[in-house]
Amino acid sequence: MNMPLASLPLESLVFDNRFVRELPGDPQTANHRRQVENACYSLVLPTKVSSPRLVAYSREVTDLLNLSEATCESPLFTEVFVGNRLLPAMVPFAMCYGGHQFGNWAGQLGDGRAINLGEVVNHRGERWVLQLKGAGPTPYSRRADGLAVLRSSVREFLCSEAMFHLGIPTTRALSVVTTGEQVLRDMFYDGHPKNEPGAVVCRVAPSFLRFGNFEILAARGETGLLQKLVDYTIRTDFPHLGPPSPETYSRWFEEICRTTSAMILHWMRVGFVHGVMNTDNMSILGLTIDYGPYGWLEGFDADWTPNTTDAQGRRYCFGNQPHIGQWNLVKLANAIYPLVNKDEPFKEALALYNQLFQQGWNKMMADKLGLQAFNAATDDLLIAELLELLQGVETDMTIFFRNLAQVTMSENGKNGNIQDLPDWLMEACYQPQQLNEDYRKKMTGWLHAYLARLQRDNLPDEVRQRRMNRVNPKYVFRNYLAQRAIDKAETGDFSLVGELLELLRRPYDEQPGKEEFAVKRPEWARNRAGCSMLSCSS
């Protein structure tokens, strides 16, 4: 009798480790820090830990791997996905890559605390790489220990899955497991280290290749290996583009421009700020990758960054993300230029990035406002005035756009007393004392212009509201919610991790009884560590 696919035991995972089979690896096998040249990876084993305990797992990701609930709750699952045991077909390795960090070339970086266990092929023929984050040092760890703490692991696990359910391209997270050991961390690099509970996240993606994988080979002049890696990537992840050739490389770069633009548009739609858009944190597949000091806009501020390291320059602030996306693409273009030796295809693709982003921005903002289609004659000004109003007074972005759907066209005949802003708008304001007469007059004027614009579309209110609620989430993974879950988890209580995981599966639904998770950031969280600014160790 054949077992149902969803009931396969862990040992039945089918591995096809093409990356290590087809690309050259580091000939050295000793696990010590070093420069690794003429290789795409180094073989390395995870570090065993003392007392692993499963915190949570994603049932959607287990479905991708054809694993049952019973399998995921077994001791073997915990042992494997903390790094204590390997399945027979696993070939663990860490990748070699470089990157531009905060605008400067940083040289070799690599998987300093990530170890790929292997590539699983599921029953649909999909390839999924399993990667442990925090499972010990690798040759790329530099001066670090290769470990992760529960704080950062809970943030990555929950955010990966939250982003997926928001409809945003992302790497996924299978599980988070505590190690039973303490890890010393200086959260804000200010000379106050402390011991924290250790943990390991299992990340899952079709590929973890980054712009930096190609940059490091180009920077070292390893052009032959660069071509091998590009050819491998096209055959494995972009077979629809055709056999590798200079023309295919150009089409490949254009597709990366398209997917990167689409990903950042999604970030802007929900107010997500990545926080550290270095080229080594840019996925070749246009996936959100490496959840460190991220955050959602609460008070709308185009200049906001969640990253303490970026607090001065604000290179990676919310409003700068589209520009940085293009900057990073230029660095990738420079890396693969030797394979094409023509400027024009890259210039055209980068121009396409700009065009796609602007078109996408206009459509996205029209969707958020519930308009049938973007009309430049009226909507450029409508959108610009709204963003200025949101920036001028501390206004919760998520709550504002979600509540905006409550506007009805029957309100168009009201005279709009500037002293009485709608209750739904007041719910989004953090500082009611900021609402002076000038602001009230401008906001009331904007609301009248918005209602007049809706009248021209003449969509029934209920139709428009449904459309708006499909793109404006009710629930996002706010940093203070993450911190609440972390505080509990550090006492051994993982219940809020599970509750948030369930909540964030349906971010666009009302979910009666869960309204406490859809309110403004509380004042206690305004300046608390982990709730406002975070460091790269977060």
The predicted-structure confidence for 165-199, as pLDDT tens digits, reads as follows 999 999 999 999 999 999 998 876 677 889 999 99
Closest to 262 measured CA to CA, from 352, 128, 366: 352
What per-residue confidence (pLDDT) applies to 7?
Answer: 54
Is 124 in contact with 171 (CB distance < 8 Å)? Answer: no
Is 42 in contact with 36 (CB distance < 8 Å)? Answer: yes
Tell whether the model's pLDDT for residue 272 goes beyond 90: yes
Alpha helix stretches (DSSP H) within 166-245: 211-219, 223-237
Residues 491 and 447 in one domain: no
What per-residue confidence (pLDDT) applies to 410?
Answer: 78
Residues 266 and 337 in one domain: yes
Cα of 271 vs its chain's centroid, Å:
12
Tell whether the model's pLDDT for residue 4 goes beyond 50: no
Tell whether the model's pLDDT for residue 71 goes beyond 80: yes
Tell whether the model's pLDDT for residue 420 goes beyond 90: no
Residues 63 and 168 in one domain: yes
Query: pLDDT-derived band of residue 532, with 50, 70 and 90 as boundaries?
Result: confident
Mean pLDDT of the chain: 94
Residues 183 and 232 in one domain: no
Measured from the Cβ of residue 244, the count of other Cβ atoms closer than 10 Å reads 19
Percent of the chain with pLDDT over 90: 91
Tell me the average pLDDT across 220-226: 98
Query: pLDDT-derived band of residue 38, with 50, 70 and 90 as boundaries?
Result: very high
Q: Which strands make up the sheet holding 93-95, listed edge to edge?
A: 41-43, 93-95, 114-121, 127-133, 194-205, 172-185, 53-57
Residue 173, domain member (yes or no): yes
Residue 504, domain member (yes or no): yes
The Cα angle at residue 339 between residues 219 and 282, in degrees rounded to 5? 55
Helices 397-404, 461-471: crossing angle, 10 deg rounding: 160
Answer with the one of 352, 367, 382 that is the final residue of a domain. 367
Closest to 251 measured CA to CA, from 259, 263, 323, 283: 259
Residues 186 and 49 in one domain: yes
280 an active-site residue? yes
Separation between Cα atoms, residue 70 and residue 50, nearest integer Å: 23
Query: pLDDT-derived band of residue 6, with 50, 70 and 90 as boundaries?
Result: very low
Query: pLDDT-derived band of residue 269, with 50, 70 and 90 as boundaries?
Result: very high
Tell whether the model's pLDDT for residue 109 goes beyond 90: yes
Separation between Cα atoms, residue 98 and residue 219, nearest integer Å: 9
Closest to 133 measured CA to CA, from 154, 114, 155: 114
How big, in percent rounded to 5, are the helix, strand and coil portions of the chain? Answer: 45, 15, 40
Tell whether the model's pLDDT for residue 518 goes beyond 60: yes
Residues 49 and 93 in one domain: yes
Closest to 396 measured CA to CA, from 483, 514, 270, 288: 270
Residues 414 and 360 in one domain: no
Residues 108 and 157 in one domain: yes
Separation between Cα atoms, residue 529 and residue 487, nearest integer Å: 12
Residues 169 and 143 in one domain: yes
Separation between Cα atoms, residue 392 and residue 436, nearest integer Å: 11
Separation between Cα atoms, residue 313 and residue 250, nearest integer Å: 33
Domain count, the chain: 4
Answer with the one of 162, 183, 211 that is the final residue of a domain. 211
Residue 467, domain member (yes or no): no
Token couple for 164: 């997926």
Tell whether the model's pLDDT for residue 1 goes beyond 90: no
Answer with the one of 162, 182, 211 that is the final residue of a domain. 211
Residue 374, domain member (yes or no): no
Measured from the Cβ of residue 30, the count of other Cβ atoms closer than 10 Å reads 9
Long-range contacts at 11-15 (CB < 8 A, ≥ 24 apart): 11/87, 11/88, 13/65, 13/66, 13/67, 13/87, 13/89, 13/120, 14/89, 14/120, 14/121, 14/122, 15/87, 15/89, 15/90, 15/91, 15/118, 15/119, 15/120, 15/121
Is 336 in contact with 230 (CB distance < 8 Å)? Answer: yes
Residue 114, domain member (yes or no): yes
What per-residue confidence (pLDDT) applies to 11?
Answer: 87
Counting every residue, how long is the chain?
Answer: 538
Query: pLDDT-derived band of residue 377, with 50, 70 and 90 as boundaries?
Result: very high
Separation between Cα atoms, residue 113 and residue 183, nearest integer Å: 13
Name residue 247's beta-bridge partners. Answer: none
Tell whether the model's pLDDT for residue 2 goes beyond 50: no
Tell whether the model's pLDDT for residue 417 goes beyond 90: no
Question: Which one is predicted more confidently, 35 or 535?
Answer: 35
Query: Locate tokens 């070292």: which residue?
Result: 220
Residues 417 and 287 in one domain: no
Alpha helix stretches (DSSP H) within 36-146: 59-64, 69-72, 75-80
What per-residue confidence (pLDDT) applies to 537?
Answer: 57
Residues 26 and 155 in one domain: yes
Residues 501 and 404 in one domain: no
Tell me the average pLDDT across 310-315: 94
Residue 250, domain member (yes or no): yes
Closest to 166 measured CA to CA, from 405, 484, 372, 474: 474
Tell me the average pLDDT across 371-390: 97
Q: What's the half-sphere exposure (Cβ side, CA atoms, 13 Å) at 509?
A: 10
Q: Which domain holds residue 342?
A: 224-367
Measured from the Cβ of residue 240, the count of other Cβ atoms closer than 10 Å reads 8
Residue 38, domain member (yes or no): yes
Residue 103, domain member (yes or no): yes
DSSP string, 376-443: HHHHHHHHHHHHHHHHHTTBBHHHHHHHHTT--GGGGGS---TT---HHHHTTBS-GGG--HHHHHHH
Is 262 in contact with 355 (CB distance < 8 Å)? Answer: no
Q: Of 26, 231, 280, 290, which residue is the catalytic one?
A: 280
Question: Which one is predicted more confidently, 6 or 174?
Answer: 174
